[in-house]
């Protein structure tokens, strides 16, 4: 891959990495950025996703500043926020948080927002926010108890991973499925290709 085609993914998410690999894009470097993800007072979930993705991209850019090996690279960052109305359902770290989130999502619609931020080699910043509407079935006590026992909720926005067991909870999904996994592929590739990144370079059979 040519130098100008180097992509840095400002994330440590295995799901985002797998999604990019699914479409033939292998990031040259993973740079998970440790930033404060606390929502601001009255911050809309969409605005939070946009802000955090931008902060992650900017943080990676700052780390790489002056490093000639990465001066011609693209930096892609993403942040996913789950919300019921304006209420943000954060990443669950404890069992009680996960249980509360699942009870909240049970039998109702929620929104998944993923903010995307791309910083190009000439340091142009491109942003977008992708939204998907998801409806869960009404979860029984056994559903919730068994899902909590699976551990698949840990560290996940909304306390669930749609690509795992929780996929069976989804009654209806309107929008991008990959957005709910954590990286909307269509929009990510649109951002990249729009700024000159050859998204098809990895499609050649070899």
Report how far residue 156's alpha carbon sits from residue 141's, in angstroms, rounded to the nearest whole number: 20
Roughly what angle, to the nearest 10 degrees, separates helices 185-194 and 14-22?
70
The predicted pLDDT at position 78 comes to 97
User: What is the phi/psi pair of residue 8, to 5°?
Assistant: -105, 125
Q: Please, which pLDDT band fits residue 206 given cuts at 50, 70 and 90?
A: low
* Average pLDDT of every residue of the chain: 94
* Contacts of 80 by beta carbon, 8 Å cutoff, 6+ apart: 49, 112, 113, 114, 115, 157, 179, 180, 182
> According to the model, what pLDDT value does residue 136 have?
98
Give how far Cα 194 sits from Cα of 30, 70, 135, 142, 188, Å: 22, 20, 32, 47, 10
Percent of the chain residues topping a pLDDT of 90: 89
pLDDT at 85 over 70: yes
Q: How confident is the model at residue 66 (pLDDT cuts 50, 70, 90)?
A: confident
Higher pLDDT, 3 or 9: 9
Q: Which residue has the higher pLDDT, 71 or 181?
A: 181
The verdict on whether 79 is a catalytic residue reads yes
Among 79, 122, 143, 198, the active-site one is: 79
Q: What is the mean pLDDT of residues 42-56?
A: 96
Average pLDDT rounded to a whole number, residues 154-181:
96
Residue 3 is predicted with a pLDDT of 41
Domains in the chain and their CATH numbers? 3-203 (3.90.950.10)
User: Which tokens sit at 181?
Assistant: 């996994």
- Structure confidence at residue 1 (pLDDT): 38
* 90: nearest Cα among 153, 19, 169: 153
pLDDT band at 199 (very low <50, low <70, confident <90, very high): very high
3 state SS for the chain: CCHHHCEEECCCCHHHHHHHHHCCCCCCEECCCCCCCCCCCCCCHHHHHHHHHHHHHHHHHHHHCCCHHHCCCEEEEEEEEEEECCEEECECCCHHHHHHHHHHHCCCEEEEEEEEEEECCCCCEEEEEEEEEEEECCCCHHHHHHHHHHCCCCCCECCCCCCCHHHHHEEEEECCHHHHHCCCHHHHHHHHHHCCCCCCHHHCCC
Instruction: Indicate if the pLDDT at residue 169 is higher than 60.
Output: yes
> pLDDT band for position 115 (50/70/90)?
very high
Mean pLDDT of 98-111: 98
């Amino acid at each position: 891959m040519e130098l100008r085609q180097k992509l840095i993914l400002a994330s440590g998410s295995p799901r985002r990495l797998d999604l990019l690999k699914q479409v033939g894009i292998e990031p040259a470097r993973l740079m998970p950025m440790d930033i404060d993800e606390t929502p601001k007072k009255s911050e809309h979930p969409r605005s939070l996703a946009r802000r955090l993705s931008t902060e992650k991209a900017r943080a990676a850019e700052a780390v790489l500043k002056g490093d000639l090996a990465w001066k011609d690279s693209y930096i892609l960052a993403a942040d996913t926020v789950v919300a019921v109305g304006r209420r943000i359902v954060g990443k669950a770290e404890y069992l009680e948080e996960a249980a509360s989130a699942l009870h909240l999502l049970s039998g109702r619609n929620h929104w998944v927002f993923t903010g995307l931020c791309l910083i190009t080699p000439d340091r142009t910043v491109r942003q977008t926010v992708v939204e998907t509407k998801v409806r869960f079935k009404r979860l029984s006590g056994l559903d919730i108890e068994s899902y909590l026992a699976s551990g698949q909720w840990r560290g996940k926005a909304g306390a669930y991973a749609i690509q795992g067991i929780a996929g069976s909870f989804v009654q209806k999904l309107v929008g991008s499925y990959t957005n709910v996994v954590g990286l909307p592929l269509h929009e990510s590739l649109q951002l990249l290709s729009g700024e000159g990144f050859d998204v098809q370079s990895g499609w050649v059979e070899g």
